[in-house]
Chains A and B, each alone.
Chain A
Amino acid sequence: MTALSLMSSSENAKSYRTLTARRIAVLGGLLALLVLSVAVDVSLGPARYPLPDVLRTLFMPSSADLQMRVVIWDIRMPMALLAVTVGASLSLAGAQMQTILANPLASPFTLGLSAAASFGAAIAMVLGVALFPAAIALMVPINAFAMAMAASLLIFGLSTLRGVTVETIILLGIALVFSFNAALALLQYFASEQALSAVVFWTMGSLTKATWGKVAVTAIILAVCAPLFARRAWALTAVRLGETRAAAMGVPVKRLRLETLFLVSLLAAVPVSFVGTIGFIGIVGPHVARLLLGEDQRFFLPGAMLSGAAILSATSVLSKAILPGAVLPIGIITALVGVPFFAALIMTKGRKSW
């Protein structure tokens, strides 16, 4: 009996090691998919270049012709990489919001951040009002960022109050979505034809305004936030066992929730202000990661980032491939292609978590 149970115990440790190895392999696979998708993304566009030329421009820029160098390095590369940083940021933000709010539908979007950003952008486009007059050139993204940050600080402020539960935070977020959408509709109602179409285009979400600067800013924010989450990996995983249980394991739940909300605000507000509404990533990315890797944050955290980045990058490829010669707004593709794919995924691989 004892010998048998001892054997089965080391058996368990062994299969846990196997599970760990498999999860690392899944992460590697996601990374490989991402790299592949970025490569395809860079080689696709309205102008058709043969693949060898694209590769030569990428690896030996000095030997390529000028026009192609500009297209590849100054237009396609920033777009392709912005898809990666934005996808990773929004997915990570969604993942941690779902974790601390114990709700699978929580994301920067369900909590009103993108609605706020859209409203901020519309203020710039319709009324021509810069919330920070110093930077007129960047009026649209800065207004969007300011409103998104204001919305998340409101939620953040509320959650520091005593006795505020997770449900209250979610309800407030939903109230914010409706309020900002109504305010946006009001602005649109009074907008000129030209401003209206600008607002509509912005809210569709698009990577076409990508620059190296935006790639750098989003990458830096990601590089600051991800390690801060990684340091809290066990605590964040513990929170998923329930607040009481996490507290019983020594997790300062309330403080962790505040820190996370703050980081998430930063992580989501900047990308949203650059690319507009790309709603779905904050929900799909984390769910894919959860299905593939479970919720141990040592794997879930990088997994959510990689899957979000890979999905948005693949969507960027699709947005160019569907109508040859045209780049469809990526926000539309995420919803059109993402939703059925997502539905199929959760129906076929339905776990009982949540």
Chain B
Amino acid sequence: MVTLTLDQIGARYGRRTILEDASTPALKGGVLTALVGANAAGKSTLFRRIAGQMRGTGAVRLTGATKDDLRYMPQDTAMTAALTVYESIILALKQGAGGWRLSASELASVDSVLQRFGIAHLAERQLPELSGGQRQAVSIAQTLVTRPKVVLMDEPTSALDLYRQYEVLEALRSYAAETGAVMILALHDLNQVMRACETAIALSQGRILASGPALEVLTPALISQIYGIESRVERCSRGCPMMIVDGPAVPRSA
């Protein structure tokens, strides 16, 4: 089984410490893990550290997978290259694998990832002509086309409409279940987290406040501590957990 463990991860930009002592128990593959925290808490920085794009203290331990099995989807989805969607996904597949020729099975895997994220109809469109949400879906497809066993996605649903959020999270859940991959998703919508993610990591000012089963992590107390928001967690009439926002805990002044 694939697992990922963070062991006292630290990171800094220049003299500013951004992450300190970030540790988690072994995060299991096969389910979605949410990474939540306020703006500037250090979520993207943590991803960059795990993906090896940034140096720092501590270690990332993987079992059942190596660093080569890791794919990271950056938060920024801007893409200006003169490539079609199809070409960009072929690129994501072939970069690293090498070779100029494409086999039928490689084309089939490009097709299947396009299907899975509902963008098959965009295949021939140029990247710079896509809408924000379309770009995000393409970005997700680029990340998963190699069928990585460790996946980091920085706000994969931030530009998607309501239906597409649901559709994409379901597709990611089924990808995890099918491949046993460790999947960590930075998400701002806590209702999405409660609905789709088994586990959660709460990050605040560069420190991990809690990690574990999502519903145990996302308590009203923790939400108030991280976001300064009064909330309740209830169940909808179909039994689905959801967060109800009552308002700011302390009125925000300056």
Chain B residue numbers with a CB within 8 Å of A233 are 100
| Interchain CB contact under 8 A, A238 and B95 | yes
Q: Mark B71-113, 1 if CB is under 8 A from A, else 0.
A: 1111010111111101110111011101010000001101110
| Interchain CB contact under 8 A, B91 and A296 | yes
| Interchain CB contact under 8 A, B84 and A294 | yes
Interface size class of B (residues with CB under 8 A): 35 or more
Interface size class of A (residues with CB under 8 A): 20 to 34
| Residue of A15, A244, A353 touching B82 (CB-CB under 8 A) | A353
Knowing A249-B96, A353-B82 are in contact, say whether A242-B76 is a contact too (CB < 8 A). yes
| Residue of A8, A12, A248, A294 touching B51 (CB-CB under 8 A) | A248
Select from chain B the residue with minimum beta-carbon distance to A249.
B95
| Interchain CB contact under 8 A, B108 and A353 | no
B194 within 8 A of A: no
| Interchain CB contact under 8 A, A351 and B128 | yes
Chain A residue numbers with a CB within 8 Å of B96 are 234, 249-250
| Interchain CB contact under 8 A, A248 and B53 | yes
Please report the C-alpha to C-alpha distance between residue A244 and residue B73 in the assembled complex, in whole angstroms: 9
A243 to chain B, nearest CB (A): 9
| Residue of A12, A248, A250, A295 touching B111 (CB-CB under 8 A) | A12
Chain B residue numbers with a CB within 8 Å of A234 are 91, 94-96, 98
Select from chain A the residue with minimum beta-carbon distance to B97.
A234
Chain B residue numbers with a CB within 8 Å of A197 are none
Select from chain B the residue with minimum beta-carbon distance to A294.
B82
* A 217-250 contacts with B by CB, 8 A: 233-235, 237-238, 240-242, 244-245, 247-250
B149 to chain A, nearest CB (A): 14
| Interchain CB contact under 8 A, B100 and A9 | no
| Interchain CB contact under 8 A, A250 and B74 | no
| Interchain CB contact under 8 A, B83 and A240 | yes
Please report the C-alpha to C-alpha distance between residue A353 and residue B83 in the assembled complex, in whole angstroms: 9
Please report the C-alpha to C-alpha distance between residue A237 and residue B114 in the assembled complex, in whole angstroms: 20
B124 within 8 A of A: yes
| Interchain CB contact under 8 A, A353 and B80 | yes
B16 within 8 A of A: no
B123 within 8 A of A: yes
| Residue of A13, A242, A247, A251 touching B79 (CB-CB under 8 A) | A242
| Interchain CB contact under 8 A, B82 and A5 | no
Please report the C-alpha to C-alpha distance between residue A110 and residue B128 in the assembled complex, in whole angstroms: 25
Please report the C-alpha to C-alpha distance between residue A245 and residue B87 in the assembled complex, in whole angstroms: 15
Write 7 A-B pairs (CB below 8 A) sorted by A numbering.
A16-B87, A238-B95, A240-B82, A249-B92, A294-B82, A351-B82, A353-B80
The 10 closest A-B pairs by CB, nearest first: A240-B81, A9-B111, A352-B128, A353-B82, A234-B95, A248-B72, A12-B123, A13-B107, A244-B74, A295-B82
